[in-house]
Structure 1
């Protein structure tokens, strides 16, 4: 039995004939007639008494009509539910990301997202260890990297790309002077990201590259301590622009040697293919890719 034939049958009965049903459905009268005949053949029972003057249900036709009407109503309810979920994403979306991305890329965005989609529940997992999205059951990963990510079954969407710039506090520059050239950084205090980091490799837009060795003043493998140390005038630091941008805007830090950068860091959204098709996951990805998604959270 073709379940679509139930709909043709119900429409024919509700409309009082094949011609009226055809107008309602936007199809030829012959199509309605053939589909009802096919339903009768599949069931092995006559559902309608029809002639040029009459159109009436048989006894078994009345029973079939009651169940067919219920089936059509349920089918329409399925469509309504899907459309509602597509219009207003809902459910749980699990995101994993690193500490810097959580602090500087997502912390301001996720409250805005939650206000925009009140039926969404966001679960943010913050870790600097590698997470297997499929094995650990995550919908989205936000990862930063210096080189292109290897090919995989995950769907990749580029979220952003930030230059790594040199910044220092105005108080430090007032005391020690503003470096005029990359080479002069050797006479300055450096805030370093690890004990293994001895050299800053800088390049400009013309492709010139230079390696400089500042005097290490502090080591930290996390961005916030480096940022705070720079703000109090302890030395010069290389940080992704995303991390230092607010401090620069507010005057707590000043960019030095603006024509030079220490590389670039890319940020990518990854999601398993099937999970990425879910309306709620798709809505979160689209939101995170918006350039203005970092606006202030509106008041309740």
Structure 2
């Protein structure tokens, strides 16, 4: 789109002069002098190289060129007013599109239970949800809300990083696997076991870091049998008796309750499990974005804790 050679304020002045049938009345509405408006319209005519208004002591009328410009100017003002009203509606109640990026497991397991409740509460909000573990640039990718594990620092001062909740992690295995191996009597024994580790395939894993009940840390040496950043894959491998999996407990709560998976060394946890929510600065935050952030902070902890 080429830059305009005219000042849009002059089009606004032209429309008001015509609709109020004179410079004096239009000036009273705008709070400016009649002479100021006259100079602006004269400047607009000079810029375009055409007369827009025919002026007499008793009458003001549009030329053909003025009529054409007036019609376009009036349409421009109508669109501008509609745009302003649309924005004001969005700033008065949650409405419009919110783009969010959440970890795959939370999207698959948790949001299926939460989304209907959110959409029912905020019927004018639309959601676009990305299931991903990767780092997201909120500004460049036009994402409004990101939920990630602790460790993704906000790279821009325009972003807010707020604690969301803590998801408990643990070690689990199938009863069949535990019967075959004879059980686990401590973190050091894990070096002899087949481990199913949650990690990116680009991340070399040579030890499993475990945090004890008193904050102590154990790092048994390991060579994972399966390494994946997909929680569903690790859970299915554990159910198939392939080894001991490091998983968030919310992802396998049903299997633990049914006895198809068992806790291993329940006093030790393989991850801190702290989640944060990232979003642009609170200044000027759209109500729909604020509604989603507040909803996640309210609804996620009971499901993940």
TM-score range for the pair, normalised by the shorter chain length? 0.5 to 0.7
Which of residues 280, 293, 296 in structure 2 aligns to 1:285? 293
Q: How does 1:104-143 map to 2 (within 5 A)?
A: 104-143=109-148
Equivalent residue number for residue 189 of structure 2: 184
- The alignment yields a C-alpha RMSD, in angstroms, of 3.3
The partner residue of 2:238 within 227, 230, 235 is: 230
Residue 215 to residue 82, structure 1, CA distance change in 2 (3 Å): closer
Q: TM-score, normalised by structure 1?
A: 0.62
* TM-score with structure 2 setting the length: 0.61
Question: 145-154 or 133-142: which moved more?
Answer: 145-154
* Structure 2: runs of 5 or more not aligned: 1-27, 34-83
Cα offset for 1:90? 1.8
What do the CA deviations read for 1:87-127 (whole angstroms, capped 9, x no partner)? Answer: x5221111123323322343332232112222211111233
1:97 matches 2:102 = yes
Correspondent of 1:155 among 157, 160, 169: 160
Query: 1:144–1:266: 8 Å Cα contact kept in structure 2?
Result: yes
Change (3 A) 1:100 1:43: closer
Aligned partners of 1:225 and 1:137: how far apart in 2? 30
Is 1:219 aligned with 2:224?
A: no
In the alignment, what sits opposite 2:49? none
Is the CA contact 1:109–1:294 (under 8 Å) kept in the aligned structure 2? no
The alpha-carbon distance between structure 1 residues 232 and 266, as it changes in their structure 2 partners (threshold 3 A), is same
**Gap change, CA 1:209 and 1:175, over 3 Å in 2:** same
Equivalent of residue 279 in structure 2, options 247, 271, 293? 271
Distance 1:103 1:276 in 2: 31
Deviations 1:167-226 (A, max 9, x none): 111222233232121122223221134472121122212233222134633232322211
Aligned to 2:213: 205
